[in-house]
Amino acid sequence: MKMILNSMYENCSNGKKSFAVLLDPDKLNLDILQEKIDAINSATVDYIFVGGTIIGTDFMDTLLLQLQEKTFVPKIIFPGNGLHINNKADGILYLSLISGRNPEFLIGQHVVSAPILKRSKLEILSTGYILVDGGKPTTASYISNTAPLPNDKPEIAVATAVAGEMLGLKLIYLDSGSGAQIPVSESIIQAVKKHTDTPLIVGGGINSLQKASKALAAGADIIVVGNAIEENPNFLFEMASLVNSYNHSVA
């Protein structure tokens, strides 16, 4: 059963927006984690993304175990590479970095991890991952050795996203990278939304309600926030109520 993907498609077709919190294992420990889980459980959080381009600690497993025990919110691995596969999550973004031209991140990591994923119970969420220029070099573009897509070229973003959709990818993720100075432009979000039918995930540098509102209005179905919540834990509640009120205003 494709529970997560079905919920994303259902919400997308009903115009219901979702909020995903990104948890980076390297930035957490048991003390702050409990507070985060309490916040996630008391606000309306639709998905928990877990991961990072590089994971340098061994906290990923503990983090997922704690989340498994303490929250029903779906836990989705947002991997930097095949080493980040973990069976304690519910699903995994099977990311193909379609903005890049590095075969390793288009298909290489996928081949290596396919047998492991096939045996796992993880729901596979095949995702066209599009890195968009966020104003400064990001770990993701450096490590993947790819150039991000220019933030003022919606036509390239559309062609890339449509190609991903025609190749059979089930989700499109526009990401300007963690801590980006500039989030993905509204013109790119609008254009990609207009030309594709897959649920659209948008993240990177969303650190204010104004930026989040713009992304929602432009057509993002799922908004991902990581850094801004690490800096200001209260932002989780503000984001959850923004998405909630957006959903009520259009209902």
Q: Provide, rounded to whole angstroms, the least separation between the CB of residue 227 and ligand 1GP.
A: 3
Is residue 205 part of the contact set for ligand 1GP (CB under 6 A)?
yes
Q: Provide, rounded to whole angstroms, the least separation between the CB of residue 118 and ligand 1GP.
A: 26
CA distance 189 to 36: 29
CA distances from 119 to 5, 84, 143, 165 (A): 19, 15, 28, 26
CA distance 75 to 198: 20
Is residue 175 part of the contact set for ligand 1GP (CB under 6 A)?
yes
Please classify residue 76 by burial: count the beta carbons closer than 10 Å to its beta carbon, then call 0-12 exposed, 13-18 middle and 19+ buried: buried
Stretch that binds ligand 1GP, among 65-73, 92-100, 221-229, 239-247 (CB under 6 A): 221-229
CA distance 203 to 178: 8
220 or 225: whose CB is closer to ligand 1GP? 225
Is residue 22 part of the contact set for ligand 1GP (CB under 6 A)?
yes
The residues near 222 (Cβ < 8 Å, ≥ 6 apart) are 8, 17, 18, 19, 20, 46, 47, 199, 200, 201, 202
Is residue 179 part of the contact set for ligand 1GP (CB under 6 A)?
yes
Q: Provide, rounded to whole angstroms, the least separation between the CB of residue 204 and ligand 1GP.
A: 4
Is residue 224 part of the contact set for ligand 1GP (CB under 6 A)?
yes
Q: Which helix (H) or strand (E) holds 31?
A: helix 30-42
Per-residue binding string, ligand 1GP, 65-104, x by CB under 6 A, is ----------------------------------------
CA distance 78 to 238: 23
CA distance 9 to 58: 33
Candidate residues 4, 97, 180, 239; the one interacting with ligand 1GP per rule CB under 6 A: 180
Is residue 228 part of the contact set for ligand 1GP (CB under 6 A)?
yes
Candidate residues 18, 126, 178, 247; the one interacting with ligand 1GP per rule CB under 6 A: 178
Is residue 184 part of the contact set for ligand 1GP (CB under 6 A)?
no
Closest to 172 in 3D by CA, of 86, 73, 62, 97:
97
Residues at the site binding ligand 1GP, with contacts judged by CB under 6 A = 22, 175, 177-180, 203-206, 224-228
